[in-house]
Amino acid sequence: MSEVVVVKCGGSTISELTDTFFESIMSLKLAGKQPIIVHGGGPAINEMLTQLKIKTTFVEGLRKTTDAVLETAEMVLCGKMNKQLVRSLQEQGADSIGLSGSDGRLLVVKAIDEEKLGYVGEPVYVNSVLINELLQKSYIPVIAPIGIDDKGQHFNVNADSAAAAIASAMDAEELVFVTDVDGILKDNQLLDVVTSEEIEHYIQDGTIYGGMIPKVKAAIKSLTGPLNAVWIMNGKGSYLSQPNSKQLLYGTKIVKKQTVTNML
C-alpha cells in the first residue's frame, strides 16, 4: 500500500484552516499517498458545555468526562466538527468519509482512570482492516476521537492519543499534529528538533505544559516501526509541503535518539 500519512487537526484550528490546507491534503492524495485525518474539537465542546450549563474540568491536560460531558462531546465531535472537515475536503474534490472510533469498533479503548477522569479512554486496538478498506476505495477517513470498550461503553479519547494509535496500527511513515502553535517553544524560541529523551526533561522543567503534554507523550509513544519522526506545526499559517517532499515548512520535529545520532 502507498505511504500512509496521519494528520491530526486540533479543535482550535479547524475553523481557521484555509483552502490551502485542504488543497495540500488533496495534493498528498494525488501524489499517491494515503492521508488519514483525526480531529479534536475542544473549543467547540467548551462552547456547547457553556450553553448547556454543564461544568467541565481538566486533569493533567485531559478533560474529565461525566455522562453529560460525554454526550455533549460525542454530539460535537461526531456531528459538527467531523462533518465540517468532510465538507471542506469534498469541496477540494477529495472523496472523504466521516466516522468515529466507535463505528465498526474502529478504536477500542480502556478507561485510563475512571475515578479521576470519568469516561476518558486510551486506545488498546485499532481496526486497521476497516481503515484499509476505506483507503483502498480511495476515501480519506476523517475520524472523531470517540472510542468504545469491550462492553460497548463509549469513551472520550484524547485526539492526539487516537492519532498516534492509528498511525502505529497503520504503519504510517508520517504523523503530523496540526495545532494553533508553531511547535515546542523554549524561552520563546522554536525548538526545531527534539529527541524523545529531551521531551521528558522539558516536561519536568515546565517548558512543556498543559495540553502540549499529552500531545508530546502521544508522539513519543508512536515512534515505533517505520515512523521515525513526528511533527508539531501551526495549521493557521504553515501547511504540508509539496507532495514530493516529506518535510514540513515550519514546526518542531520529534525524533528517536538514534535518528539524531545518525544525522550528526
- Beta strands 62-63 and 96-100 are unpaired
Q: What DSSP character marks residue 152?
A: S
- Could you give all domains of the chain from N- to C-terminal order, each with its CATH number? 4-263 (3.40.1160.10)
Confidence (pLDDT) at 211:
77
Q: Are 230 and 223 contacting, i.e. CB atoms less than 8 angstroms apart?
A: yes
Distance CA 25, CA 132 (A): 18
Distance CA 88, CA 174 (A): 22
Residue 156 marked ligand-binding: yes
Q: What DSSP character marks residue 3?
A: P
Confidence (pLDDT) at 8:
93
Q: Residue 92 is placed in which grid cell?
A: 477540494
Confidence (pLDDT) at 258:
58
- Beta strands 189-190 and 140-144 are unpaired
Q: Which alpha helices (H) appear in 76-195, and where do they start and end? A: 82-91, 114-117, 128-136, 159-169
Confidence (pLDDT) at 118:
96
Confidence (pLDDT) at 264:
42
- Residues of the chain where predicted confidence (pLDDT) is lower than 70: 1, 225, 236-250, 258-264
Q: How long, in residues, is the chain?
A: 264
Residue 63 marked ligand-binding: yes
Residue 42 marked ligand-binding: yes
Confidence (pLDDT) at 197:
86
Q: Are 7 and 21 contacting, i.e. CB atoms less than 8 angstroms apart?
A: no
Q: Is the dihedral of CA 128, 218, 109, 98 positive or negative?
A: negative
The identity of residue 192, as a single letter, is: D
| pTM for the predicted model, two decimal places | 0.84
